[in-house]
Structure formats: structure tokens, C-alpha cells
């Protein structure tokens, strides 16, 4: 897919105030600092469309971007940031849960995980929650530039084995690096395919 236009639409913390249009929507979620906003900039080829920071907790609201005038990309706050949760029940902010529960336009969620790390409880809990709520998701491994190719293969294999302890199948996944542009076409082509299905049905 070629990105012809990418525009910021709005930020808010109330899902009922998100854009009313029925355009297909794709949300990027994951722990703070995993690289959600950077990935959005890489995918759209716009350096500072989404705000990034070396400090966790930069993105605090639900941010909608309109891409090619026909689909929405959504940047969400990270979960797992110390200020956010106290009890294990409150693993992510209430409005994020509401976003996923109420946003019917959402086609799929992308859960970002740092390729260098073992599966984290909070990510597994979130995947489980999405599964229980019937929300489709893919995994995006981020920061692949930080590992050598054989280490990437090993980390992905380890991650898969660990996922397969609780899931029947490994979800669809992508290996990316925002700083090197790795995985851009894979993710965009996937979205393109899903969009084509949405507009046909």
C-alpha cells in the first residue's frame, strides 16, 4: 500500500467522542516505550505524525489518524506504566478497555512487543482479554535493529513456544524496526488486504 495522505484527526480519552465514521480502524497497543508511536510514523512515512519520546508514558490519549482518506490508524497510551496500574485487575486504563469494548469499527489490534524480551505477563493478560472479548489481534515485534538476524529468529521461536503454552496457534506476527524501516510493507500490505475485505463485505 502506498500512503498518499496521513492526517491527525483528534485526541481524546472518551471513546464515545472518537470519530463517528464507519471507516475501518487499526489500533496499536503495547507496553509503554515499546515503540507504538514510532511505528506509526514509520508506517506512514511521516517523521512526527505521532509524538514519540524516550520516556515512557508519552502517549496519554486515544489518537486517531486518517490514512489515504479511507481508514483510521489509532495510537494508544501504553499499558504497564507505573503510574497507570496498581492492582493486577487494572492493568490498563479504563478508557483503553472501553475503546476495545465499544469501538465496532476496529478491524484488528496490533500488540507491540519488544523483540528482545520474553513474553511479559501484562502482554499475555491483554492477549487473553482480547481473545475472550472476540477482538482479533496480531503481534508486532519492535526494535528488530537491536538484534542480529540469528538472535531475531531465536527470540521469535522462544516467544512462539511460550505463547503455544496457552494458545492453540501463534497469532499472525510481524518483525519490525522503526529506525530501519523493517516490516513496513508487510504490515501495510496486511492492512490493505483486510481493508479490501471490509469494503467488499
Quick one: 36 or 155, whose CB is closer to Mg ion?
36
Q: What is the DSSP letter of 31?
A: B
142 binds, among ligand GTP, Mg ion, none (CB under 5 to 8 A by kind): ligand GTP
Instruction: Say whether residue 37 binds Mg ion (CB under 5 A).
Output: yes
38 binds, among Mg ion, ligand GTP, none (CB under 5 to 8 A by kind): ligand GTP
Quick one: 19 or 56, whose CB is closer to ligand GTP?
56
Instruction: Say whether residue 59 binds Mg ion (CB under 5 A).
Output: yes
Residue appearing with cell numbers 469494503: 199
Question: CB of 41: closest distance to Mg ion in angstroms?
Answer: 10
Question: CB of 179: closest distance to ligand GTP in angstroms?
Answer: 4
Question: CB of 12: closest distance to ligand GTP in angstroms?
Answer: 16
Is residue 72 within 8 Å of residue 152, measured between CB atoms?
no
Residue appearing with cell numbers 507504538: 36
Report the sign of the C-alpha dihedral through residues 22, 23, 24, 28, in that order.
negative
Question: CB of 76: closest distance to ligand GTP in angstroms?
Answer: 8
CA distance 15 to 125: 22
- Residue of closest CB approach to ligand GTP: 78
183 binds, among ligand GTP, Mg ion, none (CB under 5 to 8 A by kind): none
Quote the cell numbers at residue 115.
523483540
| Ordered DSSP codes for 163-186 | HTTT-SSPPPEEE-BTTTTBTHHH
Q: How far is CA 118 from CA 6, 129, 160, 161, in A?
A: 33, 19, 10, 11
Question: CB of 19: closest distance to Mg ion in angstroms?
Answer: 19
CA distance 112 to 95: 19
Instruction: Say whether residue 176 binds Mg ion (CB under 5 A).
Output: no
Q: For Mg ion, which stretch binds (CB under 5 A), given 40-48, 53-61, 151-159, 176-184?
A: 53-61
Quick one: 28 or 159, whose CB is closer to Mg ion?
28
Q: How far is CA 6 from CA 11, 62, 160, 193, in A?
A: 15, 16, 33, 19
Binding site for ligand GTP (CB under 6 A): 32-38, 52-54, 56-59, 77-78, 142-143, 145-146, 177-179
| Contact positions vs Mg ion (CB under 5 A) | 36-37, 58-59
Amino acid at each position: 500500500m502506498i500512503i498518499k495522505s496521513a492526517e491527525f484527526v483528534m485526541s481524546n480519552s472518551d471513546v464515545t467522542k472518537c470519530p463517528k465514521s464507519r471507516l475501518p480502524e487499526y489500533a496499536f497497543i503495547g507496553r509503554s516505550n515499546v515503540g507504538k508511536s514510532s511505528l506509526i510514523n514509520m508506517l506512514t512515512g511521516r517523521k512526527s505524525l505521532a509524538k514519540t519520546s524516550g520516556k515512557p508514558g508519552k502517549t496519554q490519549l486515544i489518537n486517531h489518524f486518517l490514512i489515504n482518506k479511507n481508514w483510521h490508524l489509532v495510537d494508544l497510551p501504553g499499558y504497564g506504566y507505573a503510574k497507570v496500574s496498581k492492582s493486577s485487575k487494572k492493568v490498563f486504563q479504563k478508557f483503553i478497555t472501553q475503546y476495545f469494548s465499544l469501538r465496532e469499527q476496529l478491524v484488528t489490534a496490533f500488540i507491540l512487543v519488544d523483540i528482545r524480551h520474553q513474553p511479559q505477563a501484562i502482554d499475555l493478560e491483554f492477549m487473553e482479554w482480547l481473545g475472550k472479548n472476540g477482538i482479533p489481534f496480531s503481534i508486532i515485534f519492535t526494535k528488530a535493529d537491536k538484534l542480529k538476524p540469528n538472535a531475531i529468529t531465536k527470540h521469535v521461536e522462544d516467544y512462539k513456544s511460550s505463547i503455544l503454552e496457552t494458545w492453540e496457534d501463534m497469532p499472525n506476527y510481524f518483525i519490525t524496526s522503526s529506525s530501519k524501516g523493517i516490516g513496513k510493507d508487510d504490515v501495510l500490505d496486511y492492512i490493505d488486504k483486510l481493508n479490501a475485505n471490509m469494503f467488499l463485505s
